[in-house]
A and B are shown apart, each in its own frame.
Chain A
Amino acid sequence: MAYSEKVIDHYTNPKNVGTLDKSSKKVGTGLVGAPECGDVMRLQIEVDDATGVITDAKFKTFGCGSAIASSSLATEWLKGRTIDEAVTIDNMDLVEELNLPPVKIHCSVLAEDAIKAAINDYRVKNGLEELAFEEKGVH
């Protein structure tokens, strides 16, 4: 199976690899997946609490090229959006942008889950209630 140009580009030059201070109140962390399943994503957002805008996003991913590309692209999309906008990012948008084949759709689902987990982590830290998300059930 050949990888799309965009997947290769994100894999070769991943955007926003790194770690934010997870103890900070401004930072939301989402850790999803499992080593046994062959992919683990950690996605972090830093939010400006006055405006709700995501000022920074970082990721680290254990997984295949498509998983790395999905999380790299997700961090790019997150920066500059408000957390309310970020919630609407759909895994199929990632699939389309990266031209992921059907067997790799679960990578995009994981990235969407990571975004939502990071947002909820931020919300809980700031005294807001967790948002309920419906299961995608693709994995």
Chain B
Amino acid sequence: MLKFPIYLDNNATTPMDPRVLEAMIPYFTEHFGNAASRNHPFGWQAEEAVDYAREQVAQLIGADPKEIIFTSGATEGDNLAIKGVYEMYASKGNHIITATTEHKAVLDTCKHIEKLGGEVTYLQVKPDGLIDLTELEAAIKPTTILIAIMYANNEIGVIQPVKEISTIAKKHGVLFFTDAVQAVGKIPVDVQKDGIDIMAFTAHKMYGPKGIGALYVRRKNPRVKVTAQMDGGGHERGMRSGTLNVPGIVGFGKACELARLDMEADAKRLSVLRDKLENALLQIEEAYVNGNREHRLPHVANISFKHVEGEGLLMGFNKNIALSSGSACTSASLEPSYVLKALGLGDDLAHSSLRFGLGRFTTEEQIDYTIEQISNTVHKLREMSPLWEMYKEGIDLNSIEWAHH
């Protein structure tokens, strides 16, 4: 039996795995101690739990536990990494390289850096969403201190060539930071093999709790330091003050352990379901996949249905299926997704897109239902769409002088 609503927005957040919740519960009531209380059993217990979780988190990404700095989430991690490097390496330079398809937490932090007097290069991406490595290398100058490129994109799931980026960064003595929120726990991420210097990730995108994340900060080859962005008790090797969120950290650790054990099977199963969904929806006339299909997260698909508007499309089934769209009809700006626009998609196609994020609890039955609902709604709305009618009559929509408002 299908239970509604169906959740296919796992790039936004994931439900918590019941095993994670179970691990967390004692740390709210019984073991409530402050991990920084060094002189009594309550503190010792909390510290022990944090140490264990730190190992679980480190193990998932091939890091040393000492290299894990707990944060409140990836937005904080992005801020700490970029602002922290900018401050710490000020004597070396002030130039940062990033890409136009980064998350707002990276882009807006970079804008902040520019206000502080720093210089930022925003690389354009290719039509498939990948950055051009030659352009990246050409953008490096003597003052470059950081390359900030995400591991996998939240809207289209495209995976950047992280190893190649880190090789270039190393060659020029530049630090490499990656926002790996969508990748960690979903695909193998190894900070050693990938050559990552700093990496932000978060628990709630991998079946853990909200409000807890981590920043990986390399300790060897090279030893990296970031300037703390909050003053206080000097927790987390002085890089992030604030009493540790012990239950959150315990949950994050458990989520990392589960991801390490389940990742391969989850990814395999989800890529089969994703492909089924995608192939069925591509049977619809004038439907297109956005982004590179090969270098892509196994559980993500982003598809545009030409001549129907995304939010209108969602309305056809959003009581029963939770999805997101690149259409920005709900936002005040009325601007469609900047990520899709960066791929060179016209605004019309960006407005017509749906993002599917499958997850650990997605079933085939749910996918079958979703295919049916979307196909029906696309057809229904096209019957109502003046653009579809013109397209069918062979009118070139670009030849019309639209009244841009």
By a beta-carbon cutoff of 8 Å, the part of chain A in contact with chain B is 1, 3, 8, 11, 14, 17, 19, 31-42, 60-65, 67-68, 103, 106, 110, 113, 139
Contacts and interface: CB of A to CB of B under 8 A. Distances in A.
B25 interface: no
A5 to B, nearest CB: 13
A65 to B, nearest CB: 4
A103 B330 contact: yes
Contacts of A113: 403
A105 to B, nearest CB: 11
Given A33-B403, A35-B351, A36-B404, A60 B312 contact: no
Interface residues of B, number: 33
B324 to A, nearest CB: 13
Given A36-B347, A62-B312, 10 more contacts: A11-B312, A11-B316, A34-B405, A37-B334, A38-B327, A38-B351, A42-B386, A62-B386, A62-B387, A64-B329
Given A36-B347, A37-B334, A68-B312, A61 B384 contact: yes
21 contacts: A34-B402, A34-B405, A35-B346, A35-B397, A36-B402, A37-B334, A37-B347, A38-B336, A38-B351, A60-B384, A60-B385, A61-B384, A61-B386, A62-B307, A62-B309, A62-B386, A62-B387, A63-B309, A64-B330, A65-B315, A103-B330
A113 B351 CA distance: 22
Nearest to B348: A35
B404 A19 contact: no
5 A-B pairs closest in CB distance? A34-B402, A35-B348, A36-B347, A42-B386, A64-B311
Nearest to A104: B329
Contacts of B402: 33-36, 40
Interface of B: 307-312, 315-316, 327-332, 334, 336, 346-348, 351, 383-389, 397, 400, 402-405
Contacts of B351: 35-36, 38
Contacts of B328: 38
A1 B330 contact: yes
B405 A38 contact: no
Given A3-B315, A106-B334, A34 B385 contact: no
Contacts of B307: 62
A34 B403 contact: yes
A40 B307 CA distance: 10
A34 B404 contact: yes
B403 A38 contact: no
A35 B315 contact: no
Contacts of B387: 35, 40, 62
B305 to A, nearest CB: 11
A40 B315 CA distance: 17
A7 to B, nearest CB: 9
Contacts of A64: 309, 311-312, 315, 327, 329-330
Contacts of B332: 103
Nearest to B347: A36
A139 B405 contact: yes
B312 A19 contact: no
Contacts of A14: 384
Contacts of A67: 309, 312
A65 B347 contact: no
